[in-house]
Structure 1
Amino acid sequence: MSHAPTAALHDPRQARPGRTDPGVSARVRRVLDLPEPVERSAGRAVAHRALERLGGPVGLLVAAAPTVAFVAADAAAGLGAALVALALAAVLGCAVRLARREPPGAAVAGVLVAALCAGVAVLAGEARAFFLPTTLLPVAFIVAYAVSLLARRPLMGVVVNPLVGGPRAWREHRDLRRAYTASTLIVLALASANLLVRVVSYLEGQLAVLAGLQVGVPVLFATHFALTVVVARRVVRRSTTGSPTTPLPAHA
């Protein structure tokens, strides 16, 4: 005799605390003429995951505040005022992060990065030098992505696979390896474009563009990372629910 009905009655998904009976909910919606609930789309899930990775709206604002304060103060009153505004914004951002119980290391790192950029600007005697460290930083990522692809160990697979519960031998699964390779190629292209635009903007002294990149690029990369997690999780789920990913030949 099948026990499916009994299992359905005891399915924990049907008895979550605080969950209203579907029948009652449907009747209430009909009486109040409310629309049917819609599950969060994949796009919204990716956006939500990316925002979480950046610390939510508050975390995003805290990360952007020092750069915005520096550029605005420099445009209004010069480098000296920009350094003061930067210091105030960085210290305030650190305090906000600690108040939100974020890891102290992350809070202090924000201050150290701001101090490093400010030090370079002081040594160079010009505001645009504030962006020099972050202009050159993409070079390291480009090298890392390229080397991982040449070694046939795409970096996005190394980072993402443990997070999605993928098999340790993910390189032997064609679907997973293709997904991680494609993701690494995409992020390599993004990093290369980011470097190119930063260098051109730096040489032309376009501080507003550099500030926009410094604020917006982390959002772009966080979105890419979140999308990779979603795609990889689906591939892993298929491999564990009766539709396994195709293993690679032994000689591959």
Structure 2
Amino acid sequence: MTQHPTLVNQLSDHAGPFGTAGTASPADDTSDVSATARRVLGLPDPPEQSAGRAAAGRALERVGGPVGLAAATAPTVAFVVTDAAAGLEAAFVALAVTAVLASGVRLARRESPGAAVAGLLVAAVCATVAAVAGEARAFFLPTMLLPAVFVLAYAISFMARRPLAGLMVNRLAGGPRDWPRHPALRRIYTISSLIGLTMAGANFVVRVVFYVADEPGVLAAIQVGLPLLFAVHFAVTLVVARQTVGRSLAVPLPSAPAPDLR
């Protein structure tokens, strides 16, 4: 099953690939050795990776790479295709087999066992709802709640003056804990959160429209394709935030006025 790639626990558990701000990561050591070797051998430096390409690469990593993306989407695709070809009962069988295989692939790739179990549980819940309703489109009812939850989370974060994007991205970007006091970072996270709120709202509305229209194939396409779109949004926010951190920290914060002791 496809899950939203921007849940807080999914985001915070993947700090490793990006290193930790202010410390040298293994990737940094490897880069130093490679640079020295190129200088000794007189080889040219490799072309610098653009921010857009870096964001795309990180987005693909965020959904597990091509293999991880295929494993995550296979149960949904198998269910919809089999339902169209052989009916709902056969679709349940195809879903069960594919979900178990997908979990096996995740475990073989040394992903978190919790993620593999969660995939099975989500598939079971969606299948149960579809079985009770007796129609394929009901398979997508549980996952329709997710964009609504994100709309609510974005709205609450704005009311608390802590944009959700900052809560999810700032630690990975190496930003300071008091990032709301840094105008540049706060602006980046506010804009990103507004974009995320718009995406989540549109996601929910589109799902409702095609659910009412009884189009499980379209619902499957939305469920398969949108996680990568949200992952791109997350990755672009991370790239921009990391580029902004240095400039933001270089600007001194306004000092508090001295108390009047008279």
TM over 0.5: yes
Give yes or no for the alignment of 1:227 onto 2:236. Answer: yes
After superposition, give the CA deviation of every residue in 1:8-62 in whole Å (9 maximum; x if it has no partner): xxxx798515832276224xxxxxxxxx842111111000001111111100000
Give yes or no for the alignment of 1:24 onto 2:24. Answer: no
Contact 1:174–1:247 (Cα < 8 Å) also in 2: no
Give yes or no for the alignment of 1:96 onto 2:114. Answer: no
Match of 1:236 among 223, 227, 245: 245
User: 1:163 offset after TM fit, Å?
Assistant: 1.4
Contact 1:172–1:248 (Cα < 8 Å) also in 2: no
Q: Which amino acid in structure 1 is aligned with residue 33 of structure 2?
A: R
Q: Distance in 2 between matches of 1:24 and 1:63?
A: 45
Which residue of 2 is the match for residue 30 of structure 1? none
Unaligned runs of 5+ in 1: 1-11, 27-35
Give yes or no for the alignment of 1:202 onto 2:220. Answer: no
Which residue of 1 is the match for residue 11 of structure 2? none
| Helix, strand or coil at the partner of 2:42 | helix
Which residue of 1 is the match for residue 157 of structure 2? 148
CA 1:49–1:22 in structure 2 vs 1: closer, same or farther (change >3 Å)? farther
CA 1:151–1:79 in structure 2 vs 1: closer, same or farther (change >3 Å)? same
Q: Which amino acid in structure 2 is aligned with residue 156 of structure 1?
A: A
Match of 1:64 among 73, 83, 88: 73
Q: Distance in 1 between matches of 2:256 and 2:80?
A: 56
Number of aligned residues: 228
Bigger Rg, which one: 1
Q: Which amino acid in structure 2 is aligned with residue 189 of structure 1?
A: T
After superposition, give the CA deviation of every residue in 1:87-124 in whole Å (9 maximum; x if it has no partner): 01100000011111111000110010000000000000
Which residue of 2 is the match for residue 5 of structure 1? none
Equivalent residues in 2 for 1:129-208, closer than 5 Å: 129-208=138-217
After superposition, give the CA deviation of every residue in 1:165-210 in whole Å (9 maximum; x if it has no partner): 2111111111111111111110000000000110001100111110
Root mean square deviation, CA, Å: 2.1
**Higher RCO (CA-CA < 8 Å; seq separation 6+):** 2
Q: Which amino acid in structure 2 is aligned with residue 114 of structure 1?
A: A
TM-score, scaled to structure 1: 0.85
Identity of aligned residues (%): 60
CA 1:68–1:92 in structure 2 vs 1: closer, same or farther (change >3 Å)? same
Contact 1:165–1:236 (Cα < 8 Å) also in 2: yes
Moved over 6 A (4+): 248-251
Q: Distance in 2 between matches of 1:98 and 1:15?
A: 33
User: 1:237 offset after TM fit, Å?
Assistant: 1.9
After superposition, give the CA deviation of every residue in 1:69-99 in whole Å (9 maximum; x if it has no partner): 0000000001001100000110000001111
Contact 2:182–2:248 (Cα < 8 Å) also in 1: no
CA 1:59–1:179 in structure 2 vs 1: closer, same or farther (change >3 Å)? same
Match of 1:114 among 104, 108, 123: 123
Unaligned runs of 5+ in 2: 1-28, 258-262
Bigger shift: residues 135-144 or 187-196: 135-144
